[in-house]
């Protein structure tokens, strides 16, 4: 068979990519200090879906991290109690276990630490403090029984146990076996020619400088130090003003260190086509725009429309297989509310 020039390019790209450190997504979160029981995971799922953890009883973890779709909410920035919106886009919770820190600025080192934040954040769930949230849950007999059963003591309904359960559930939110993973495992037809070309283009223009590793976010199994990258790098690009990319100082807000200005955690590219709009502020609407922004502001490279389309096609191969996820039955207080009316009206 005579190879055309286009076929030669594809073969070369495929060989180049296969020789480099592309990695499949793990199918499990890996060992933890204290392995979670299925009962603990189920309790965490209940808490994740329960809006009664919010001041108004209207916002759950799943409100902003919708597991029925991409693990986000499709908004520029998420909407919490009383219609309040925060300053940043909600990252996906799918595959969140495969990253070195949580939140865009990495201010939470673990999933457990991250789970504490939204409960008392004014634009999110809005509880005045964590004790208030725990007292709310303690009014529900079913939760009292579940905490005692899972953690083995009468005084088990604590903040530490609650966030440990939520994190245990979140560690099950993994989407392996994408077409990309299958291609890496040797299924040569799992990705089409445009996707293979896009994989090569993604590497050749320098995207893998930041987006490598199994989750394509710079994380590697066993990492204990979080890695942050400057965004945007090229302040001279007209896209910086067009999309207001430089308004947020990133990790600087956490550390107040000048060297941390405009540093952000590298987001995963797994299921990226399901999580528009893009970037920390959600002001980039489409994946084609996002690829163009990254090429120009991070790599000082201007891609053609065809090259952008190749990379977008590669991204389509990163959609994984979502696990079966039956909705939980929440413990009920039929005919009674755990929410006090003055709290709901408090603006």
User: Residues within the annotated binding site for heme c?
Assistant: 61, 64-65, 207, 210-211, 294
Of the residues 42, 124, 203, 307, only one is catalytic, namely 124
| Residue 141, H or E segment | helix 141-151
Q: Which residue has the tokens 């998420």?
A: 78
3-state secondary structure at position 250: strand
* DSSP calls for 78-137: -B-GGG-B-SSPPPP-TTTTSSSSBSTT--BSSHHHHHHHHHH-TTTT--S-HHHHHHHH
Burial of 193 (0-12, 13-18, 19+ CB in 10 A): middle
Q: Beta strand pairing status for 263-265 and 228-230?
A: antiparallel
Question: What does the H/E/C string look like for 30-79?
Answer: CCCCCCCCHHHHHHHHHHHHCHHHCCCCCCCHHHHCCCCCCCCCCCCCCE
- Is residue 124 annotated as part of the catalytic site, yes or no? yes
Token digits for 72?
A: 């986000």
Question: Which residues fall in the annotated binding site?
Answer: 61, 64-65, 207, 210-211, 294
| Residue 265, H or E segment | strand 263-265
Token digits for 329?
A: 């039955």
Active site residues: 124
């Amino acid at each position: 068979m005579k190879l055309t020039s286009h076929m030669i390019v594809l073969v070369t790209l495929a060989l180049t990519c296969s020789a480099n450190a592309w990695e499949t997504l793990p199918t499990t979160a890996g060992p933890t200090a204290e392995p979670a029981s299925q009962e603990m995971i189920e309790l965490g799922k209940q808490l994740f879906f329960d809006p009664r953890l919010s001041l108004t009883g209207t916002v759950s973890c799943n409100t902003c991290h919708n597991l029925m779709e991409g693990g986000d909410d499709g908004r520029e920035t998420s909407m919490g109690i009383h219609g309040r919106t925060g300053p940043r886009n909600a990252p996906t919770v799918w595959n969140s276990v495969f990253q070195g820190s949580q939140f865009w600025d990495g201010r939470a080192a673990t999933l457990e630490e991250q789970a504490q934040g939204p409960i008392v954040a004014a634009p999110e769930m809005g509880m005045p403090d964590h004790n208030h949230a725990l007292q709310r849950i303690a009014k529900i007999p079913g939760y009292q029984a579940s905490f005692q059963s899972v953690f083995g003591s009468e005084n088990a309904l604590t903040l530490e146990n609650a966030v440990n359960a939520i994190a245990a559930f979140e560690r099950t939110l993994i989407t392996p076996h994408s077409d990309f993973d299958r291609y890496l495992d040797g299924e040569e037809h799992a990705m089409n020619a445009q996707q293979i070309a896009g994989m090569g283009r993604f590497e050749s223009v320098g995207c893998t400088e930041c987006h490598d590793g199994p989750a394509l976010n710079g994380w590697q199994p066993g990492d204990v130090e979080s890695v942050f990258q400057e965004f945007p790098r090229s302040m001279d690009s007209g896209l910086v003003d067009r999309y207001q990319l430089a308004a947020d100082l990133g990790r600087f807000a956490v550390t107040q260190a000048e060297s941390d200005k405009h540093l952000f955690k590298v987001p995963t590219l797994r299921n990226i086509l399901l999580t528009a709009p893009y970037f920390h502020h959600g002001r980039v609407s489409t994946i084609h725009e996002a690829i163009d922004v990254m090429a120009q502001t991070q790599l000082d490279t201007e891609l053609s429309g065809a090259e952008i389309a190749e990379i977008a096609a590669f991204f389509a191969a990163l959609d994984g297989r979502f696990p079966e996820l039956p909705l939980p039955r929440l413990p009920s207080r039929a005919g009674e509310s755990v929410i006090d009316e003055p709290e709901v009206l408090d603006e």
